[in-house]
Amino acid sequence: MEKSIVKIENLSHRYSSSWAIRDINLEISQYGIVGLLGSNGAGKSTTMNILCGSLNQTEGNVYINGINFRDDPMRAKMEIGFLPQNPPLYLDLTVDEYLEYCASLRDMSGQVRKDAVKEAKERCGIDHFSGRLIKNLSGGYRQRVGIAQAIVHRPNVLVLDEPTNGLDPNQIIEVRNLIKDIAKDRVVIFSSHILSEVQLLCRDIKMIENGRIVFEDTMEAFNNYIEPHSLLIHFNNMPDIAALETIEGIIRAEILTDRLVRLFFSGEAGIAETIVTKSVQNGWRLQEITLEKDSVEEIFKQLSQQ
């Protein structure tokens, strides 16, 4: 049996008279990226704060590499790196000054600290910005500095809260690739409200809703809860349902009005271009296509009602 890297047992926390989370149980025993999902107020942030040691739970236990947070919080915290949604950066420090400071907070000194900072900079692709003030870096590179401070002490578990929030598309791709690389030799717990990010990055999913775990499985199993993508299409000459359902990739058609139809499809790339081509060939006179998708909130709702 594989050794648990992260293990949470019967975790509960109460604020005043109300329970934020109740009887949370989960276990992670393999390196890779695990998605932690939850709608606003679901208990996700409370769970993350307890996992990172910044909040003491009311009940239950958290183990990191077999170390119980209650018994030895200092040792347990040495196994964890954390990047909150708003990176804790000191903008008037250089990259080197900041990372040296973060390493010193982790009780690292001398050559060990210098080597750790150098390794973190190289891993995060910021070595060439060593002497630059953090306030003069772009958003994407600031995020890389934030990730570097979270891994400078070489933790086995890295917790990332909305790490691509506020970045432009190119920066998102760069940070996404960095996270994938870092996850090769540690557990990365990745929190995000962006479903596409979770689908692209995560191997497994843990979902918290109403303070409880409502889903815990692989990304593949999670995708089974997502309704097929659908297209709303306006035709001037409405074709028969049978003609639409013979198009490759179309699962079913639903006539809404004499000119509007909803087509459910299985996710094939280029489906819209295929429909445009068919429309031209058959004289359907297509006017408009709109892509519909289930939101993360809808998926939360489906799972919490089970």
- pLDDT tens by residue, 214-250: 889 998 888 776 666 788 999 999 999 999 999 988 9
Higher pLDDT, 102 or 222: 102
How far is residue 202's CA from residue 74's CA, in Å, rounded to a whole number?
29
Average pLDDT of the chain is: 89
**The two structure tokens encoding residue 39:** 């709608």
- pLDDT tens by residue, 164-188: 888 888 888 899 999 999 999 999 9
Higher pLDDT, 292 or 243: 243
Which pLDDT belongs to residue 293?
60
Higher pLDDT, 258 or 145: 145
Supply the DSSP symbol for 133.
B
Whether pLDDT at 291 is above 60: yes
Q: Kindly list the distances between the CA atom of residue 89 and the CA atoms of 76, 93, 101, 281, in Å, as whole numbers in the listed order.
A: 23, 9, 11, 58
DSSP labels, 38-63: --TTSSHHHHHHHHTTSS--SEEEEE
**The two structure tokens encoding residue 97:** 């000054």
Q: Specify the range with the lowest mean pLDDT, choosing from 36-40, 52-56, 103-107, 240-244.
A: 36-40
Residue whose tokens read 């892509």: 291
Which residues share a beta bridge with 157? 80, 187
Higher pLDDT, 173 or 119: 119
Higher pLDDT, 193 or 47: 47
Higher pLDDT, 122 or 302: 122
Report percent pLDDT > 70 for the chain. Answer: 92
The C-alpha angle 27, 302, 13, rounded to 5 degrees, equals 45
Whether pLDDT at 109 is above 60: yes
How far is residue 11's CA from residue 9's CA, in Å, rounded to a whole number?
5
Q: What is the mean pLDDT of residues 36-58?
A: 89
Which pLDDT belongs to residue 29?
92
Which residues share a beta bridge with 133? 94
How far is residue 111's CA from residue 113's CA, in Å, rounded to a whole number?
5
CB-hemisphere CA count at 13 Å for 37? 29
How far is residue 143's CA from residue 165's CA, in Å, rounded to a whole number?
10
**The two structure tokens encoding residue 221:** 């199993």
Give Cα 69 distance to the centre of its chain.
Answer: 24
Whether pLDDT at 1 is above 50: no
Which pLDDT belongs to residue 28?
95
Q: What is the mean pLDDT of residues 181-198?
A: 87
**The two structure tokens encoding residue 28:** 């992670």
Q: What is the mean pLDDT of residues 277-295?
A: 85
Whether pLDDT at 268 is above 80: no
The C-alpha angle 159, 49, 303, rounded to 5 degrees, equals 80
Q: What is the mean pLDDT of residues 271-292?
A: 90
Q: What pTM, to 2 d.p., does this model score?
A: 0.76
Domains of the chain: 6-221 (3.40.50.300), 229-300 (3.30.70.100)
Burial 219-241 (b: 16+ CB within 10 A, else e): beebeebbeebbbebbbeebbee
How far is residue 16's CA from residue 19's CA, in Å, rounded to a whole number?
8
Which pLDDT belongs to residue 227?
60
How far is residue 145's CA from residue 150's CA, in Å, rounded to a whole number?
9
Which pLDDT belongs to residue 165?
84
Is 267 exposed, middle or buried (CB count within 10 Å of its CB: 0-12, 13-18, 19+)?
exposed
